[in-house]
Amino acid sequence: MSAELAAVRCSGCGGTVRMVAGRSLPRCLFCGADAADLVPTEPPEGIEPPVGQLPFVTTADQARETFQTFATSSIWYPDDLRSAKLELRPLLLPAWAWSGEVETHWTGLVSSTTRSGKAPVAGVDHVRFEQILVPASRSLRMSELASLGAWDERALTAFDPETCEHPMELSELTRSAARQRAQQEMEARHRSSIERDHGLRKIRVSSLVTQLEGRPVMVPVFIGAYRYGDRTFRVLVNAQSGRFVGSAPKSWIKMFAAFTLGVVVLVALVLGVMACSGLFAVAAGSG
């Protein structure tokens, strides 16, 4: 590693970032931990280098605008979330992009007018996946990476860590491990698709994955993490498409107030109905 390029690992979440020369991190990009929790580290050996990187298309201002839109998208979010000045930082994430074909032989049960209410069905399905992204680090979940949407790999450019202008997370996943995770993901997605498309109540499958090809790449994101109470919430923006992924706390004060108001309204309605019933009873008796 270049003497000017330092890598740090968060002792809290395990996220590892290699910084640009002359820059430092005030806190962990992945969990928001303070700089005191970041310790120097070295990149793992035997990891295949990326074949290229995708460029940043979305700007930092646009990324912040998407967060502000998100922060005001629900009345249940705390008011101070709407005024939060979350700093979204650019980051290159290592991932393995896989393509392949899946053939799945399946059997299952569907709803039927039979005595048991079920009927057996079976079939064979084929599908091709052009891009299954497997995160090459421990800090990002596959579901988060998938939620960021598809990436246009036609924009792939050469990657040189020594001249890169953005901080990058260190890859920690070998080709064989990434291949296994990609295969499992393809099989799981195909199974879910078959189950949904055929309305199956139960399913058993046997899948064969072929023509599996993978390439390590760096994908651009804007990332931010903030703590609310004792929980950490992460925000991600696909810096190629601008797609936003994030979660936020719910305001228990607002939810309790809404619940209380609902109870008051319900009690008032019940009392009103009872009062009206009593008046009708009195009117009927006097008649």
Copy the structure tokens of residue 55.
């460029």
Each residue's pLDDT, cut to its tens digit, for the chain (287 residues) gives 344 457 888 888 888 888 776 666 777 888 878 877 888 888 788 889 999 999 999 998 999 888 888 877 777 676 666 666 677 889 999 999 999 999 999 999 999 888 888 999 999 999 999 999 999 987 888 888 999 999 999 999 999 888 888 888 989 999 999 999 999 999 999 999 999 999 998 999 999 999 999 999 999 999 987 777 777 778 899 999 999 987 766 644 555 555 565 666 676 676 777 777 665 555 555 55
Please give the C-alpha separations between residue 91 and each of 36, 167, 219, 238, 266, in angstroms, as whole numbers. Answer: 20, 5, 8, 10, 51
pLDDT in tens, 64-113: 888 888 877 777 676 666 666 677 889 999 999 999 999 999 999 999 88
pLDDT of residue 282: 54
- Tell me the two tokens of residue 198: 């055929």
CA distance 94 to 140: 10
> Can you give the pTM of this predicted structure?
0.77
Distance between start and end Cα atoms, the chain: 98
Could you give the C-alpha distances from 217 to 3, 50, 91, in angstroms and in order? 24, 5, 13
Q: CA angle, corner 174, sides to 170 and 177, nearest 5? A: 125
Distance CA 88, CA 252 (A): 26
Alpha carbons 275 and 287: distance in angstroms, whole number: 18
Q: What is the pLDDT of residue 83?
A: 64
Q: Are 181 and 91 in contact (CB under 8 A)?
A: no
Residue type, 110: V
Above pLDDT 90, what percent of the chain? 44
The pLDDT, as a whole number, for residue 53 is 95
pLDDT score at 135: 95
Tokens of 108: 């299952």
Distance CA 17, CA 6 (A): 8
Cα separation, 54 vs 159, whole angstroms: 9
Torsion, CA 247, CA 248, CA 249, CA 251, rounded to 10: -140
| Closest-CA residue to 88 (of 250, 220, 219, 251) | 220
**What is the sign, positive or negative, of the torsion defined by CA atoms of 148, 160, 17, 50?**
positive
Secondary structure of residue 159 in the 3-state scheme = coil
**E strands in 76-182:** 89-111, 118-135, 168-169
206 contacts 173 by C-beta, under 8 angstroms: no
